[in-house]
Amino acid sequence: MARLLEAGEVPEARQRLSHLCARDATTLDSAELTRAATESIAENTSDAVVAPLFWGAVAGLPGLLGYRALNTLDAMVGYRSARHRNFGWAAARADDLVNLVPSRLGAALTAVCAGGRARASWRVWRRDGGQHPSPNAGQVEAAFAGALDIRLGGTNSYGGEVESRARLGEGREPEPVDLRRAVRLSRRVGAAALLVAAAIAAPTTPWGAAPVQSIGPRRGKSSARRSVDNSGAGAVAVDNR
């Protein structure tokens, strides 16, 4: 996407956006395509990286697979359009529920990984994260906006329905070069999320458990017999046969 936008190939970039999100890209210019792709990178950092690692660490393989099933169902039918409204609301609400913790963990990790803009990322997240229509998507998008010193949010079109969303961040409008910065930030957040997931899962793994000691008899050339006298004292006799 960054390469296409930097080369001015807007029609090709519009086609590529359809692989990233469901937003109507027919009339989007370079600036709007850049914003849409940046928002998609931020949201997918939470949905496709942080959340699966979190649920895998908390609930094992069933948790990871269950989360991915819900998230995929939401991506397929969880829309407010007339076609999906009566069926997709359940998938959308379930996806909102399971992402409440991972989205906020992702936003916090974004601030941690933001380097010199850690405080700005944290501040923008806490100030703007709740202004998004989704209870979760705005968390990481706001944190990314603060970390990259850009502004996200605005008017979007989905299936013919137009949504006007609050602006997130206080920097300049995103540019194609910011897509590469967003990808690098996303990778750092993913690495941090992996460390957190490993720390959560460690107590339940074999290497985090206490060693099991054998209480059975030890066999060898010499065997020991323990006898107890009436006074309760123990005596050990060794038979070398």
pLDDT single digits (tens) 19-78: 888 788 888 889 999 999 999 999 999 999 999 999 999 999 999 999 998 888 877 766
pLDDT tens for 133-145 read: 889 999 999 999 9
Residue/partner pairs of 30-37 with CB below 8 Å, 24 or more apart: 30/5, 30/176, 31/173, 31/174, 31/175, 32/154, 33/1, 33/5, 34/5, 34/173, 34/174, 34/175, 34/176, 34/178, 34/179, 35/152, 35/154, 35/173, 35/174, 36/156, 37/1, 37/179
- Is the pLDDT score of 182 beyond 60? yes
Question: Residue 103 is encoded by which pair of tokens?
Answer: 């989205």
Instruction: Summarize pLDDT for 70-90 with one digit per residue, the tens.
Output: 888 877 766 555 555 666 677
Mean pLDDT of the chain: 84
* Predicted model pTM: 0.80
Task: Check residue 225 and give its pLDDT.
Answer: 45
pLDDT on residue 76: 74
